């Protein structure tokens, strides 16, 4: 199992310089990918702008959206942004897409929240089917495509159009359940081989209270669920190791750990926890 690290694009107190430095340090460390989240109505960086900046200072790691909310963007623009990051990085983009969970992001973007699943399916067919590629370059071939979401239609979209599944986070047992559903869908749609399975979690080593406060704020829209996310924040090397082992046993191919504290010292501490 590969281990990736999130960039601090949604955590409070991270400026542009830290995000760039973070990507550079991750590329020099034991991580196989750097990944970003996607919010509109939140003080956060645009996922594709952040990955483009990361592309410029990294040579090795994959650049991943975990996930980007596809339907918030017009399809051709989404394809253009993704293909541009892919080109700028020399073909290192992993594009995770889903419908997202926040109505306010749709409101802020002026996009109808209804019909979002159908729109995402169209976007995936456009991206993967290379529709309109002569007109809307650069080329999209080689972009690793992941789809997230927990509904039956989400698993069907994943198996129909993508290379793998982007899980939304939770204990290893929840991941294992989702992985079984992803594999069931993959078989049902007659895909050869098996889907790539990506998982994610949150961590904070230093100021864990600050990390928890950020998660509480970020997930406030979910009501009581926010406290469940906070409770799952990995705040010790032991917790990280257990989590990593659990995901590995559940068949995860790439586990991305997202910072909740924007402090570059967290990178080394995570590197130590996952290599020790």
Q: Which parts of this chain interact with other proteins (CB under 8 A)?
A: 117-118, 121-122, 125-126, 128-129, 131, 151-153, 155-156, 159-162, 173-174, 177, 180-185, 187-193, 223-225, 227-228, 230-231, 251
Helix (H, G, I), strand (E, B) or coil at 181: helix
CB of 203 to other proteins, least distance (A): 18
On whether the CB atoms of residues 82 and 36 are closer than 8 A, the answer is: no
Q: Based on CB atoms, which residue is closest to other proteins, 138 or 170?
A: 170
CA angle 80, 85, 90 (to 5 degrees): 125
Q: Based on CB atoms, which residue is closest to other proteins, 57 or 131?
A: 131
Q: Based on CB atoms, which residue is closest to other proteins, 16 or 137?
A: 137
Element at 75 (helix H, strand E):
helix 75-88
Encoding tokens for residue 180?
Answer: 């079984």
CB of 233 to other proteins, least distance (A): 12
Q: Based on CB atoms, which residue is closest to other proteins, 55 or 185?
A: 185
Beta strands per DSSP E along 151-253: 164-166, 196-203
CB of 58 to other proteins, least distance (A): 28
CB of 163 to other proteins, least distance (A): 9
CB of 201 to other proteins, least distance (A): 15
CB of 28 to other proteins, least distance (A): 32
Per-residue b or e along 170-188, where b marks 16 or more CB atoms closer than 10 Å to that residue's CB: bebebbbebbebbbebbee
Helix (H, G, I), strand (E, B) or coil at 2: strand
259: left (phi over 0), alpha (psi -120 to 50) or beta: beta
Q: Based on CB atoms, which residue is closest to other proteins, 50 or 215?
A: 215
Distance of alpha carbon 34 from alpha carbon 254, whole angstroms: 11
Q: Based on CB atoms, which residue is closest to other proteins, 172 or 259?
A: 172
> Would you call 251 exposed, middle or buried from its count of C-beta atoms within 10 A (0-12, 13-18, 19+)?
middle
């Amino acid at each position: 199992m590969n281990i990736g690290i999130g960039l601090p694009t949604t955590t409070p107190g991270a400026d542009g310089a830290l995000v760039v430095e973070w990507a550079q340090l991750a590329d020099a460390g034991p991580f196989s990918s750097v990944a970003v989240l996607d919010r509109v109505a939140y003080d956060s960086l645009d996922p594709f702008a952040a990955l483009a900046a990361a592309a410029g200072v990294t040579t090795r790691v994959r650049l991943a959206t975990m996930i980007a909310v596809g339907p918030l963007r017009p399809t051709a623009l989404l394809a253009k942004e993704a293909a541009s990051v892919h080109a700028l990085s020399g073909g290192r983009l992993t594009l995770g897409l889903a419908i997202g969970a926040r109505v306010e992001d749709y409101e802020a973007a002026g996009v109808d929240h209804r019909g979002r699943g159908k729109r995402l399916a169209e976007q995936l067919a456009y991206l993967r089917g290379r529709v309109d590629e002569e007109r809307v370059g650069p080329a999209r071939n080689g972009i690793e495509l992941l789809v997230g979401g927990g509904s039956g239609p989400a698993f069907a979209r994943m198996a129909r159009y993508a290379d793998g599944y982007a899980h939304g986070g939770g204990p290893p047992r929840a991941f294992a359940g989702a992985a079984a559903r992803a594999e069931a869908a993959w078989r049902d749609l007659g895909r050869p081989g098996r889907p790539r399975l990506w998982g994610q979690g949150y961590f904070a080593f230093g100021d864990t209270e600050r990390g928890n406060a950020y998660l509480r704020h970020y997930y406030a829209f979910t009501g009581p669920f926010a406290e469940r996310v906070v409770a799952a924040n990995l705040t010790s090397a032991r917790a990280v190791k257990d989590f990593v082992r659990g995901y590995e046993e559940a068949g995860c191919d790439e586990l991305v750990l997202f910072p909740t504290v924007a402090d570059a010292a967290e990178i080394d501490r995570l590197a130590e926890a996952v290599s020790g």
